[in-house]
Amino acid sequence: MAKASVLVEFFYDIISPYSYLAFEVLQRYKNIWRIDLKMKPMLLAGVMKSSGNSPPAVVPNKGVYMARDLRRLQAYFQVPLVLPDNLMDIIMKKGSSLNAQRFLTAVNIHKPEYVESISRALWLRLYKEHTDITEVKSCKEAGRAAGMDQETLEKCIQMLNDPQVKEGLRKCTEEALNYGAFGAPMIVAHINGKPEVFFGSDRFELLAYVLGEEWLGPVPQASSKL
């Protein structure tokens, strides 16, 4: 009998570069491991505030380390991630990722098959093209880049202030906090009815262990050819 797929929830925010790294690795493994990957856009600002955590810009040494760390990680994970010069300004801007996260929530409700490609389009805007992700028009451009049809795109955009979308984003953020979130990303694997929680983009060996799967490195296709 084939082993049943394990539900893996991915709590993330576009503003988080570590979420981008983890996302791309999960995309590479979702058809290798027996997992059912569910995208859970949350609001990182809400998680930080409720957990009492501080962003890197508030702790200078933390910010310096993060920049150095991400240069290594983007090469290791083979993800096109280059920090924009004004990243800390974007992070510290109130509501910086609110429109993007509401947009992803609306997409998750109405056209969930697009949430992964639109998430990637938003990350590419911020961390490769160094273009805006905070404005509504930027969400539209990301939707078009991901191939979403105009009618559905307009419907999702129009719902940014809809109570259902606001509640959906609030609920996902609260779920992450209930799992003990203090930043992003948060990966939750449901093993035999028990949630196994992993923070960050550097716990894939442990995730593989609890899943009973094999970790083949950050780029599994390349590893399998060795």
- 119 as an active site residue: the answer is no
Residue 107 CA to residue 144 CA, distance in Å, equals 13
Amino acid at residue number 41: P
Say if CB 44 and CB 184 are below 8 A apart: yes
Q: Which residue among the candidates 5, 16, 96, 138 is catalytic per the annotation?
A: 16
Residue 61 CA to residue 69 CA, distance in Å, equals 12
Spatial CB neighbours of 148, under 8 Å, sequence gap ≥ 6: 107, 111, 114, 118, 156
And the tokens for 102? 């509401």
Q: Which residues are designated catalytic?
A: 16
